[in-house]
């Protein structure tokens, strides 16, 4: 069988890690870089991982500074921040072919349907990354903990190809779950992302610091309950014990700087639209109010480097 061509759009903490794992297992992977391109062209891509460190030397790294130079892809892994999604259509247009599976390895909700409508695509995949991974330098990724993927697809026609891609990841040593509904899976991830990404950014605190404060643990739980209620109103049942399980897992994990906290520290725009605004709008449209989540969103609006207070 002909080997698939994978394209990674956004080779940072997420795209770099999962793309490098696929490359390590022998897959044909092409990486799009932005500011790191010159560095990786000369020095390659390095992954420090608690599963064992590895690297892709320059001579084996298929790196590009423009998607127009990349080959047409069977699978496109999109790992750019949702704040860059207005550019997504133009980034992937040169490498899409009939039946290309696009997989959005992003946070939040609503992006699969949005991209499907924009490009008139019959299906768009989504991936939720349960991973602690940071980019600590040009072409240098620090994989701290976890790494499991949950995959799903918007558009039933894409399910067979999604199953194949899931197996490719498993062959690369990545634990993968395939959900029948990407929407259900995204609500599950939002149960953690909404409280902990926002609180970590507003408080400039890592997960350990948050979990050491009983009052913050209570607040996080109350925000999770709001997400649970919103999800239920939209047809996704998140079991109540899952909240306590997530809190316990967070308390046990190594101190972790969330992606939103890192974006704030690096003066990058925060992912407010898909992780907060879409959630609040969907909830309100279905008669659910989320006062604590709304307050957190308002605070994020104030501290967001993309927001002008002049």
For the annotated catalytic residues, the residue numbers are 189
SS3 48: strand
Angle between helices 291-303 and 182-203 (to 10 degrees): 60
Query: What is the SS3 assignment for 169-224?
Result: HHHCCCCEEECCCHHHHHHHHHHHHHHHHHHHHHHCCCHHHHHCCHHHHHHHHHHH
Distance, CA of 187 to CA of 191 (rounded, Å): 6
Q: Does the CA dihedral 113-118-122-128 come out positive or negative?
A: negative
Distance, CA of 158 to CA of 124 (rounded, Å): 7
- Both tokens assigned to 110: 């609503």
- Both tokens assigned to 279: 């959630």
């Amino acid at each position: 069988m002909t080997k698939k061509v994978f394209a990674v759009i956004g080779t940072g903490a997420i795209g770099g890690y999962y793309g490098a794992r696929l490359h390590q297992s022998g897959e044909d992977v092409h990486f799009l870089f932005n500011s790191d391109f010159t560095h990786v062209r000369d020095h390659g891509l390095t992954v420090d991982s608690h599963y064992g460190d590895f690297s892709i030397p320059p001579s084996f790294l298929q790196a590009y500074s423009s998607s127009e130079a990349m080959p047409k892809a069977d699978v496109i892994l999109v790992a750019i921040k949702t704040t860059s999604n207005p550019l997504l259509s133009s980034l992937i247009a040169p490498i899409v072919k009939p039946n290309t599976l696009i997989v959005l390895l992003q946070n939040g909700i609503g992006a699969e349907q949005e991209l499907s409508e924009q490009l008139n695509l019959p299906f768009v995949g989504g991936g939720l990354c349960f991973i602690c991974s940071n980019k600590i330098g040009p072409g240098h990724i620090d994989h701290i903990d976890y790494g499991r993927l949950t995959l799903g697809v918007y558009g039933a026609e894409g399910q067979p190809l999604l199953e194949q891609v899931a197996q490719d990841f498993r062959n690369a040593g990545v634990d993968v779950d395939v959900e029948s509904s990407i929407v259900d899976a995204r609500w599950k991830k939002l149960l953690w992302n909404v409280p902990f990404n926002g609180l970590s950014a507003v408080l400039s605190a890592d997960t350990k610091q948050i979990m050491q404060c009983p009052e913050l643990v209570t607040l996080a739980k109350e925000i999770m309950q709001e997400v649970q209620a919103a999800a239920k109103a939209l047809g996704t049942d998140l079991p109540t014990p899952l909240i306590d399980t997530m809190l316990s897992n967070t308390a046990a994990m190594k101190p972790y700087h969330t992606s939103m906290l890192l974006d704030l520290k690096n003066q990058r725009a925060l992912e407010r639209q898909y992780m907060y605004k879409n959630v609040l709008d969907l909830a309100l449209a279905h008669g659910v109010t989320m006062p604590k989540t709304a307050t957190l969103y308002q605070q994020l609006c104030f501290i967001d480097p993309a927001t002008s207070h002049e």
